[in-house]
Structure formats: C-alpha cells, structure tokens
Amino acid sequence: MIRAASPSDYPAIRAVISHAFGQTEEANLVEQLRADGDVLVEFVEASDIAVQGHILYSPLAIEGDGYTVNAAALAPVSVLKSFQKSGIGSALIRAGNARCGELGLDAIVVLGHESYYPKFGFSAVLAESLKAPFSGPHFMALELKPGALRSGGRVRYAKAFGV
Ligand SMILES: CC(C)(COP(=O)(O)OP(=O)(O)OC[C@H]1O[C@@H](n2cnc3c(N)ncnc32)[C@H](O)[C@@H]1OP(=O)(O)O)[C@@H](O)C(=O)NCCC(=O)NCCS
C-alpha cells in the first residue's frame, strides 16, 4: 500500500534508503530536507509491519526573466533490494507524480537512470532548456502543465542538496 510517510516511519525509511543505495548519503539528504521544511511529497510503500519503498519530492524553483515555474525535484526513490523489480518503484513514482499534479505544480525534475525515468514521461530533451548544476542524459524533466518548461530558466534546488 502506498501512503504518506509519517514521523513513526522515519527510522524504517532511513533503513530502506541506506540499504537500497548502499550508503547513508541519500538518507541524510532526506532528513536534512525534512529539517529544512523542504518536503512537498513523501510517500512510502508499506505493509502493516514494514516499509519496503520510499519516495520524496522537494520544491524546485525554475526562475526566468520575471517568472517562476513551481516545480518539484524527485529525489530520492528507493526500494529494498529483495522487493525490487516487482513494480514498487514504478508505483511510487506514478503516485508521487500524480500528487505533485494535485498540488498544482508545473513540472518535475529528476537526476537518474536514463533508461528508467522516460517510461514515466521524463525527458532529457525537455530539461535542456534549464540552466542547472546538472546536464546530460541523466538530467530529465516532466511537464505537469503542458508548455511549463517552454521558456526554460535557472533551476534552484532546496538548500539541502548543496548545489
Ligand atoms: C530504482 C529503483 C527505485 C527501482 O525500484 P523497483 O521497485 O525495482 O522498480 P520497478 O519494479 O517498478 O521497475 C523495475 C524496472 O526498472 C529497471 N531498473 C531498475 N533499476 C534500474 C537502473 N539502475 N537503471 C535502469 N533501469 C533500472 C529494471 O530493469 C526494471 O525494468 P523492467 O520493468 O523493464 O524489467 C530501485 O532499483 C532502487 O531502489 N535502486 C537503488 C536506489 C536508486 O538507484 N534509486 C534511484 C536513484 S535515481
């Protein structure tokens, strides 16, 4: 079942992220984003007794000449190794993206596997108009409102990313 994360999930979320990535950097990022109040959407895939997957979106401003596009950064997403390749990651991304749409956001940006995210509509070509600390095939964007990224702009990540 996918549901919003709550504080009682936080220790389990830390374990899932650290286990999936094989390091603690991404779990630390999540905790800093929470501490800074920079969480837009945070979902878990969980049974009654355990958390198997997690996804988080933080605010991302895309600033142009006289306008700001209100976007989200999708990062990180993780699934416990023994539960991978059973659709949990995809379900979390679909649910999270849909929630961003409900929140009225204009777009979502992700830095990730170039063969994984396009199936959810993310495109590296769409991200080319953005001035960001990242570029190339791993840097992808998805418009929740058609044309939202047409004019491009400078990307500002939440402070915890340190970029
Ligand atoms: C990426 C991740 C969240 C996917 O979760 P999942 O539950 O296994 O994903 P799903 O079951 O929905 O989808 C599995 C599909 O993703 C593909 N996939 C998984 N990891 C991939 C990767 N690193 N690169 C490309 N494709 C990948 C699988 O090959 C599979 O493809 P298929 O459906 O065509 O067979 C999970 O593998 C994970 O936690 N990885 C470690 C952390 C990580 O790298 N997070 C993403 C950072 S961008």
Q: What is the mean pLDDT of residues 3-25?
A: 98
Query: How much is the average pLDDT of 111-137?
Result: 95
In sequence order, what are the residues at sequence separation of 6 or more whose Cβ sits closer than 8 angstroms to the Cβ of residue 152? 62, 64, 129, 130, 131
Using a 6 Å CB cutoff, which residues line ligand 1?
20-21, 76-79, 84-90, 112-113, 115-116
Tell me, in angstroms, the distance from the centre of ligand 1 to residue 82's CA.
12
The domains of the chain are located at 2-161
This prediction has a pTM of 0.95
Q: What is the DSSP letter of 123?
A: B
Please report the pLDDT score of residue 59 as a whole number. 98
User: Does 2-161 carry CATH code 3.40.630.30?
Assistant: yes
Per residue in 25-67, pLDDT (tens digit) is 999 999 999 999 999 999 999 999 999 999 999 999 999 999 9
In the chain, what percentage of residues exceed pLDDT 90? 99
